[in-house]
Structure 1
Amino acid sequence: MRIKRWICLCTLGIIIITSGAVRWATAKDFLIKQSGLLLIIGGVGAVILSIEKIIKVFISVLLPKQEEKIVDIIYQKRQLRWGPRIVAIGGGTGLSTLLHGIKRYTDNITAIVTVTDTGGSSGRLTKQFNILPPGDIRNCLVALAETEDLMKDLFNYRFKNGELKGHSFGNLFITALCEVTGDFEEAIRKSSEVLAIQGKVVPSTLESVSLLARGKDGRIVEGETNITESKMKIERVFLKPADCRATSEAIQAIEDAELIILGPGSLYTSVIPNLLIKDIQEAIKRSRAIKVYVCNVMTQAGETEGYTAFDHLEALLKHTYPQIVNYCVVNNAPVPPELLARYREEGAYPVSADVEKIQKKGYAVIEGEMIDSANYVRHNPQKLSALLINLLQRDLI
């Protein structure tokens, strides 16, 4: 292994350091003191060199032909540690899609996630255990995970039979941790450690809140799932209670952020609910970060039926204030005809990019071909993230 020579050099270095230290501490003559200092410096150099060589020998034996790869990983980790401070606000598939791409650029990312989900596994666990819905939290944890694919698959695994039918393992895991620790935030932290995630995932609030929507026909519908299933055209959404408080981690992340991203995701049930929390609105208002709204690629039946990109932005502003964003990101890539037909059956259509209307409102527009249309029409995480990082870098110059 050619390791003996480096162990000997390390031992010699330690002896030289000791000898130099004794000489420097006991000698009265100035030149002898200086020679002691030189011995210390030389000994430290020998120790550092030998340790570096010993590590390389072990790597070459245990991981042959992967020395360069390991160096690249260490360099990449160091770069990510010093990456930009980014906050992404939303929920559902849209937020987790964004996180898949953003994590390639920084470890300093905080996902602030809505906690109003009432459907499926999350809704059942919320009712049974009186906890906040874990589903969107789980999706974001998996998106930021650095563990093996098996662990990610495990967290996303959904039981198909028996009493657990419909539940995902990740939701059950977070619920169990919440029961053990007695704290939802602590359960998220422990889950983050298990998945070795980059950055943080935090709920927008720790209070039990319900989402209500008033339709353009005057109807009031309560519950995220009920709102989505009603397919009514929405006039406004509300939180109950309206005075719920944001988590301290969410506020701190917003205050420290260099870039704040709203969306993509369901406009009325994933993005806006977080912004209805006054603490979060105020923190964004105080922040000097770049603020970006990522408009959805497709409309949603009822909820945003017939909406253009301007209509999405207008709804966001109606629920908040004019300075909530500086930029609006819109897709200008065409959707494949075969997918258009499938979405048309569900009452969903491509969002029209009425750029001039947005610009006349006073907001900068960033256009790009950002869709991934392999099986579904959604944002491509790599393309979207690259566009956002380029925007941040350009603004900082």
Structure 2
Amino acid sequence: MENKKIVCIGGGTGLSTMLRGLKAYTKDLTAIVTVSDNGGHSGNLRKEMKILPPGDLRNCLLALAEAEPMLEALFAHRFSEGSLKGYNLGNLLIVGLVDLYGNFGAAIEKAHEVLRVRGQVLPVTTEDVQLKAIYDDESEIVGECEIVSANKSHKKYIKEMKLMPSQPKVYKNVLEKIEEADIIILGPGSLYTSIIPNLLVEGVCDALRDAKGKIVYVGNIMTQPGETEGFTLLEHVNIIEQYIGVGMIDKIIANDGWPEAMVIEHYNQDGAELVLPLIDDNRLIAVPMIALNEETGYVRHDSRLLAQTIMSIG
């Protein structure tokens, strides 16, 4: 096992999928996770309990856990009946830890101990932030869930993303981890709601610009309805570099495999398309790395192949 220091910045299922693969290759692994989600059951807990959304952090903790299988199963369990239908037990346990230890940061630290997490999972901030989209017609929408819904309905182009309050204080150790990293990975994940929100926190973009490690963007396999419909791989890269600086991304990892036709058709019906690595760029590393989730019928990155590709970067 190598001792490369790897920092992964993002959110959503793409981040946790990548972490599962990487933990087999390095002991020094850090996930920096967005906390702007306001939808689903995580969003409900956020409103009712006045805490940060626990879902993305829980997924990353589980991805890096070395706890007994029963404990992992408890943290992953989702209720199917009654008033708790749809709620995840792991999210509720994090809420309980917040109650016990007084704040969200301490609760996540205790969850590391309970799950015997290899590496670290850090919220990018512990301030109560909301995401705001500013469109090319100068209209604005606040709230991650509301932004995605409005984008699907009105097909408007996002000009800029902001956080409210602006420039929230970064969580402890986040900047230090970026500074010390050999490789810093942005993505995979929703461009506007998983990756960019991390870049809007105080000091994160400056730390990336000053970082000694290589900055790598892992491209999404499919475009995302309500966010990146019709986007090319290069458009994803260019938008990230609007925040961190042109030319700051050292390597671009992209899938160049094709899912089965019926899978593509399923995505096309929802307005999503395959993101093809059709760019002439010496930063590009294109590898077929599609895995199909049999339960959902959706594609994801093959965590093992993605990890091997990341580890091959010198």
Range class of TM-score, shorter chain:
over 0.9
- 1:161 has 2:51 as partner: no
1:273-321 CA distance string (max 9 Å, x none):
1011231111111111011000111001131000010111111112331
Task: Find the counterpart in structure 1 of residue 302 from structure 2.
Answer: 380
Contact 2:132 2:144 in 1 (8 A): yes
Q: How does 1:1-397 map onto structure 2 within 5 Å?
A: 79=1, 83-230=3-150, 231=152, 232=155, 233-356=157-280, 359=281, 364-374=283-293, 375-391=297-313, 395=314
SS at match of 2:203: helix
Q: Indicate if the aligned counterparts of 2:180 and 2:212 stay in contact, CA closer than 8 A.
A: no
What letter matches 1:378 in structure 2?
R
CA contact 1:298–1:348 (8 Å) conserved in 2: yes
One-letter code aligned to 2:121: V
Letter in 1 for 2:19: L
Give the counterpart letter for 1:345 in structure 2. Answer: Q
Distance 1:129 1:344 in 2: 38
Offset, 1:218: 3.8
SS in 2 for 1:248: coil
CA distance in 2, matches of 1:303, 1:198: 33
Q: Is the 8 A contact 1:110 1:202 kept in 2?
A: yes
Per-residue CA deviation, residues 143-187 of structure 1 (Å, 9 max, x unaligned), is: 111123332221121122222222100110001101110021111
Structure scoring higher RCO (CA < 8 A, sep ≥ 6) equals 2
Q: SS of 2:121's equivalent?
A: strand
Identity of aligned residues (%): 42
Measured in 2, the distance between the counterparts of 1:249 and 1:213 equals 28
Q: Take 2:248 and 2:13, find their aligned partners in 1: how far apart are those partners? A: 22
Q: Please, what TM-score do these two structures have when normalized by structure 1?
A: 0.75
1:7 corresponds in structure 2 to: none
Tell me, in whole angstroms, the C-alpha distance in 2 between the residues paired with 1:223 and 1:302. 14
SS at match of 1:84: strand
Alpha-carbon contact 1:147-1:195 (below 8 Å) kept: yes
Greater shift in the superposed pair: 373-382 or 214-223: 214-223
Amino acid in structure 2 at the alignment position of 1:175: V
Deviation at 1:354, TM superposition (A): 2.1
8 Å CA contact 1:285, 1:323 repeated in 2: no
The question of whether the paired residues in 1 share the 8 Å contact of 2:79 and 2:89 is answered with: yes
| Between structures 1 and 2, the one with greater strand share | 2
Q: Distance in 2 between matches of 1:302 and 1:206?
A: 27
Give the drift of 1:323: 4.2
1:322 to 1:131, Cα distance in 2 relative to 1, 3 A: same
Partner secondary structure for residue 386 of structure 1: helix
Q: Is the 8 A contact 1:85 1:109 kept in 2?
A: yes
**More displaced 10-residue stretch of structure 1: 368-377 or 220-229:** 368-377
- Decide whether aligned partners of structure 1 residues 202 and 301 sit closer, same or farther in structure 2, where only a CA change above 3 A counts: same
Provide the secondary structure at the position in 2 that maps to 1:115: coil
Distance in structure 2 (CA, Å) of the matches to 1:174 and 1:305: 35
Structure 1 residues 208-217 or 250-259, which shifts more? 208-217
Q: Which has the larger radius of gyration?
A: 1
- Residues 236 and 319, structure 1, Cα contact 8 Å, conserved in 2: no
Helix, strand or coil at the partner of 2:84: coil
Tell me the CA shift for residue 214 of structure 1. Answer: 2.0
Work out whether residues 177 and 187 of structure 1, in 8 Å CA contact, stay in contact via their aligned partners in 2. yes
Alignment gaps of 5+ in structure 2? none
- Identify, as 1 or 2, the structure richer in helix: 1
Measure how far apart 1:217 and its partner are.
Answer: 4.3
What is the alpha-carbon distance in structure 2 between the residues aligned to residue 210 and residue 338 of structure 1? 37
Secondary structure of 1:270's counterpart equals: helix
CA RMSD in angstroms, aligned pairs only: 1.4
